[in-house]
Amino acid sequence: MRQAVRTGLWGWLVWLAAACGPGFVERATVVTFDPQDQSFWALPLPCELRQRKPETFGLSHLPGVTSGVPAAWLNQSEVLLGPRWGTNAGAFFTTSGPVDPATLPTSPEAGRSPASSVFLVDVDPSSPEHGRRFPLTAQLAPEGDSLSPPGLLAVLPALWAPRRPSTRYAVVLTEALHDAAGAPLGRSRAFHQAFESGALSELRMALERQQVSSAQVVAATAYSTVDPAEDWDRLARWADQQPVPVRELPWTVAQELPDFTLLTSSVQLPQLQSGTPPYLGFGEGLISWDGGEPVPRGEQSVRVALSIPRSAMPDAGFPVTLYVHGTGGDVRQFVDRGPRPELPGEQQVVPDAGTGPAAWLARSGSAAFSHDLPLHGTRSSPAETSGLLFTNLQGDLRVARNNRLVASLELLLLSRFVASQAGAALPIAGARLDVSRLGAVTQSLGSTVGLPWIAREPSLRAAVISGASGSLIEQVVKSAPLLSTLVGVSEASLHRGQPLLHVLQSLAEPVDPLNTATQVRTHGLASLFMVAGFEDDHLTPEAQSALAGALGLTVVGQAVDQRLASVTAASGAGSSLDVIQGNWAQRTGGVVQVAAPSALGHHVLFNRTEVQHLVTCFLLGPGHPIAPLTAATGPCP
C-alpha cells in the first residue's frame, strides 16, 4: 500500500514539475494550446490531439462557416480526409496577443534555417526525407478576413516543394517569434505539460534527435499527410488490364484544309461515374469500387479526330501528337483555335477556321489526334463552357475529383487506341502513322489531367504542357471576385492563409498537378517542355512557378518574371541561356517563359508562331531539344 502511495505521489510530482516547475516560463503572450478546451482554435490545425470527432480534425466546426457551400465542403472533409491533411496545405496557430511580423521568416529559404522562428520538418522515422526542413512562408491574417480568428498565424509550405504522401510532419514555433512588445512568445501551460511529459513528449524527443533545443520550442503540432495518388493508382492499374478501345465507325474524311485532312470517328470508353453528365444530381458522378477496382456502369461514345498532313510522309509514316484541349473546348479545338490578335478581350476576333495546332503540327510533319474530354462537346448536356461544371465547387467535391481522374484514365486508354491505329485503314491513299514517335500537346485543363497520364504512359516520348499550374488555393485566389459571390464568402477572406481554403486544398490533393510532378520527373519516360505565358489572366505567377519548380524544370532563356527564376533556382534546376537537351538523365525538362500583352499569357501556344516553332522542334527533333525564345526562327537546334 505504501509503495502504491509513493508511486502515485511521485507521478503527481513529476506532472507538477513539468507543468509548473523550472522548465515553464510565464510570458505575456502565448501560443494557444489546450486539449481540454472544446473551442475550435484551442489547438493548432491540423493537430493529432484534436478529438472533437473520432479520427477527424473536427473541421465541420470551423467557426464562421455555418451554412452554404463552404459548410458542405467542411462536412465532406470529415469523410474524405479523416485524420490526415494535405501535402500542399498549411498549418495554423492562434496566439493570445499580436505577433511582431518582423520576427517571421523573411523568405521561404529562411524557413529552413536552424535559427528560424518557424519551421516545418519531416519527423517520420520511415521517411527517406526524415529530418528535412521545408521552405515556407508565415503570415498573419489580413484586415477584413471575417473567417479567421484574432491572432491567426498561417504557416504555408512552399508550393514547389510538396511533401510526401502518408508521412508525418511537424510545424514548430520557437521563442525567436516575438509579440508586438518585442518579448518572446511563450508556451501555454497545457502545451508545456504535453510537450515535456505528455502526449507530445514523443515529438519532443524526435526533435531533440534532430538537434532542436526543446527549451526553445513554444508550440508545435504533428500530423500525417494524405496519399493523393491512392485512387489514381488503382484506376491506372485497372486501365492496364482493359482491352484497347475500338472505333465505332471507320475513319471518315470530315474536312479538307490547306495543311491537313481531318478525319473523324468515335470510340467507346468505359463509363465509371454514376448518373448522367454533368452529374449535378445527388449521388451522381461517383465511382463505385469492388476489391480496389472501379465498377463500370456501361460505356460512353466519345468523338475522336485525326489530322493527316498534306506534306510528304516519312518512310516510317507520320509521327502522332495527342492534343488535349482546355476548359470549354472540344474535339475541334486543335482544328480551329488559331492565332488571335493579342488585344484586350473585347477586341478579340474569331480565328480563321483550320488554323489551330493541327495546322502547324501538320506543317512540321506530324499527324495529330484529339477527343472530347469528359463533360465537353457532345458528352454532356449542357456541355462545359466555363469550368464551373467540371470543378463542381458548389456541389459534391468527390465529383470534381472524379471528373479529373476519369479524364486522366481515358488518356491512358486513348494513347493505346492511337497506337493500335498504326496499321489502320485510312481514307487517304498510302497514309500511315508512326506510333513509335508519340508526342503530346496539352492546354490548360488538358495539362492538369494530362500530367498523371504523362507520368505513367510508357509509349509517350515528348510532352508539352501549356497554360499549366498547380495549387487549388492559387486558383481560388485568382478567381476570388467570382468565387466570393458563388460560395458566399467575402473576397477579403479568400487569401492564401485562409484555413478554409487549406481544407479545400487537402480535399483536392488527388488531382493537384503539384502532387504528380515528382512522378513525372522520376518515373515518367517522356521529355517535358512547359510553355508559361506571363501574365496569364487565368493563373497566378506563383502557381505557374510552383509547378515548374516541383517538376524540376530548367528555365531556358531569360525568365520574364523573377519569381519563376527564383523558384527554379531554389529547386536546383536553375536556368540556361542556351539550348538544353538530356538534362533529365537522357530526357529533357525545361520551361520557356513568354511575355504576353493584355494578360493573354494563357494562350501563347495558339497566338505565337515562335512558340509553335519551339514546340515542334522539341516534339520532333532528335533528343527533344528546348531552345530559348530568341532562337525561335530558322532550323531546329
Q: Where are the domains of the chain?
A: 2-225, 260-631
Distance from C-alpha of 463 to C-alpha of 206, rounded to nearest angstrom? 43
For residue 487, the model assigns a pLDDT of: 77
Residue 543 and residue 475 in contact, taking contact as beta carbons nearer than 8 Å: yes
Answer with the residue of higher pLDDT: 76 or 631: 76
Q: In terms of C-beta density within 10 A (0-12 exposed, 13-18 middle, 19 or more buried), how is residue 411 classed?
A: buried
Domain spanning 2-225, CATH class: mainly beta
Cell digits of residue 262: 481531318
Nearest 5 degrees, angle CA 316-CA 318-CA 324?
140
For residue 52, the model assigns a pLDDT of: 67
Nearest 5 degrees, angle CA 244-CA 294-CA 374?
65
Residue 157 φ/ψ, nearest 5 degrees: -65, 145
Distance from C-alpha of 441 to C-alpha of 324, rounded to nearest angstrom? 6
Cell digits of residue 397: 467535391
DSSP 542: H
What is the tally of helices (H) and strands (E) in the chain?
Answer: 18, 20
Cell digits of residue 592: 520557356
Does 634 have pLDDT greater than 90?
Answer: no
- pLDDT tens string 347-362: 778 888 899 999 999 9
Cell digits of residue 227: 496519399
- pLDDT tens string 177-193: 999 999 999 999 999 99
Collect all residues with Cβ–Cβ distance below 8 Å to 126 and sequence separation of at least 6.
Answer: none
Confidence of residue 545 (pLDDT cuts 50, 70, 90): very high
For residue 6, the model assigns a pLDDT of: 41
Does 516 have pLDDT greater than 80?
Answer: yes
Pick the CATH number of 260-631 from 3.10.20.600, 3.40.50.1820, 3.30.70.1400, 3.30.2350.10: 3.40.50.1820
Distance from C-alpha of 46 to C-alpha of 58, rounded to nearest angstrom? 10
- pLDDT tens string 97-148: 999 999 999 999 999 999 999 999 999 999 999 999 999 999 999 988 989 9
For residue 359, the model assigns a pLDDT of: 98
Does 7 have pLDDT greater than 50?
Answer: no
- pLDDT tens string 79-93: 899 999 999 999 999
Does 18 have pLDDT greater than 70?
Answer: no
Residue 27 and residue 185 in contact, taking contact as beta carbons nearer than 8 Å: yes
- pLDDT tens string 350-399: 888 899 999 999 999 999 999 999 999 999 999 999 888 999 877 889 99
DSSP 486: H
Question: Scanning the structure block, which residue is given the C-alpha cell 495554423?
Answer: 92
Does 405 have pLDDT greater than 90?
Answer: yes
> What's at 498, amino acid-wise?
Q
Cell digits of residue 149: 480568428
Q: What is the arithmetic mean of pLDDT over 511-535?
A: 95
Please, what is the end-to-end C-alpha distance for the chain in angstroms? 88
- pLDDT tens string 138-171: 999 998 898 999 999 999 999 999 899 999 999 9
For 96-251, list the strands marked E by DSSP: 118-122, 136-140, 152-157, 168-174, 217-225
Residue 284 and residue 274 in contact, taking contact as beta carbons nearer than 8 Å: yes
Instruction: Note the pTM of the prediction, 2 decimals.
Output: 0.93
For residue 271, the model assigns a pLDDT of: 98
Cell digits of residue 172: 514548430
For residue 103, the model assigns a pLDDT of: 98
> What's at 337, amino acid-wise?
R
Q: Which of 428, 433, 446, 307 is nearest to 363 (CA)?
A: 307
Does 509 have pLDDT greater than 50?
Answer: yes
DSSP 553: P
Does 582 have pLDDT greater than 60?
Answer: yes
Mean confidence (pLDDT) of the chain: 93
Around 57, how many Cα atoms within 13 Å sit in the side-chain half-sphere? 31
For residue 16, the model assigns a pLDDT of: 45
For 395-523, list the strands marked E by DSSP: 433-443, 460-466
Confidence of residue 22 (pLDDT cuts 50, 70, 90): very low
Distance from C-alpha of 72 to C-alpha of 75, rounded to nearest angstrom? 5
- pLDDT tens string 439-483: 999 999 999 999 999 999 999 999 999 999 999 999 999 999 888
Does 291 have pLDDT greater than 90?
Answer: yes
For residue 93, the model assigns a pLDDT of: 99
For residue 395, the model assigns a pLDDT of: 83
Distance from C-alpha of 260 to C-alpha of 308, rounded to nearest angstrom? 5
- % of the chain with per-residue pLDDT over 90: 84
Residue 196 and residue 18 in contact, taking contact as beta carbons nearer than 8 Å: yes
- pLDDT tens string 216-258: 999 999 999 999 999 999 999 999 999 999 999 999 999 999 9
Residue 25 φ/ψ, nearest 5 degrees: -120, 120
Distance from C-alpha of 486 to C-alpha of 591, rounded to nearest angstrom? 34
